Amino acid sequence: MKARSDRMRRMGNTVAFVPTMGFLHEGHLKLLKEGRKRGDDLVLSIFVNPTQFGPNEDLDAYPRNLERDLALAEKEGVDVVFTPDKQMLYGERFQTYVQLEHLPNHLCGISRPVHFRGVATVVTKLFNIVKPHVAVFGEKDFQQLAVIRQMVRDLDFDIEIVGIPTVREYDGLAMSSRNTNLSPEQRTSGLSLHKSLLQSFEHIQRGEKKSSAIIDAASELIQSFPETQIDYITICDPDTLDDVDIIDGPVVMALAVKIGKTRLIDNMILKP
């Protein structure tokens, strides 16, 4: 992979990269389409990265279907699918991690304390192997995108980071590989995330400026659906992820809700 990317770069080709954990859905395909537009050479990686899962999380339950992924990749015009295995990326005596001091202490990082260390580390490794000019990530994982942008700036990676808006099902459910683990009833409860974001959007349109009022209403809406357990609902600064109490500029509203055993996330940029 390293030698191939060197060759591409020497030929003057632009390398575009879409790192994923596989089980591709429409959201991933949109990332690939963007990568296809931006790169002469399009690399997709598929790797369910163990270091970004905590001990009680769903590493084993994470859905996989390599055959289907490869067919979709081919259809999108991907040039290379890079599928390292665990042993290749985390060999004996592995001990080096990339860690951010502030951004992970918010949102998902609170209930998933090792998650963003794992994300920053594996993305660093993949960047060093794939050597892209540009890498494409989804905005659904808002905090992940913020972490990667900050890491790229801080560690001086010469890579352009592109964020792509969340792709949703016809009824508003944000596309996620984890949606496949929802029963039909749970899927209906999953709609509560997007509904609460739309409701918050309307509250702000009507002049509400207090985050606490908006969050309380969102919380009430979500709890009215069966099997929902709120991890967090936050209104925060899109760059620092620090909480915002009074909304007088663009903010991100982000939330995580467990539906049965499946944890879903969603977010929306809101402006007063």
Site residues, a second copy (CB under 8 A): 2, 6, 9-10, 12, 89, 91, 93-103, 120-121, 124-125, 128-129, 131, 150-151, 153-158, 240
**Identity of the residue, 2 or 64, whose beta carbon is nearer to a second copy in the bound complex:** 2
Say which residues have a Cβ less than 8 Å from residue 164's Cβ, sequence separation at least 6: 27, 30, 31, 34, 136, 137, 138, 139
Distance CA(238)–CA(202), nearest Å, equals: 19
Least distance between a second copy and beta carbon 44 (Å): 18
CA diameter of the chain: 58
**Identity of the residue, 2 or 37, whose beta carbon is nearer to a second copy in the bound complex:** 2
Least distance between a second copy and beta carbon 47 (Å): 12
34: number of CA atoms within 13 Å, CB side?
A: 20
Distance CA(258)–CA(134), nearest Å, equals: 33
Q: Which helix (H) or strand (E) holds 228?
A: strand 228-236
Least distance between a second copy and beta carbon 50 (Å): 15
**Identity of the residue, 129 or 218, whose beta carbon is nearer to a second copy in the bound complex:** 129
Residues taking part in catalysis: 28
**Identity of the residue, 122 or 255, whose beta carbon is nearer to a second copy in the bound complex:** 122
Least distance between a second copy and beta carbon 228 (Å): 33
Decide if 156 contacts 41 (C-beta within 8 A): no
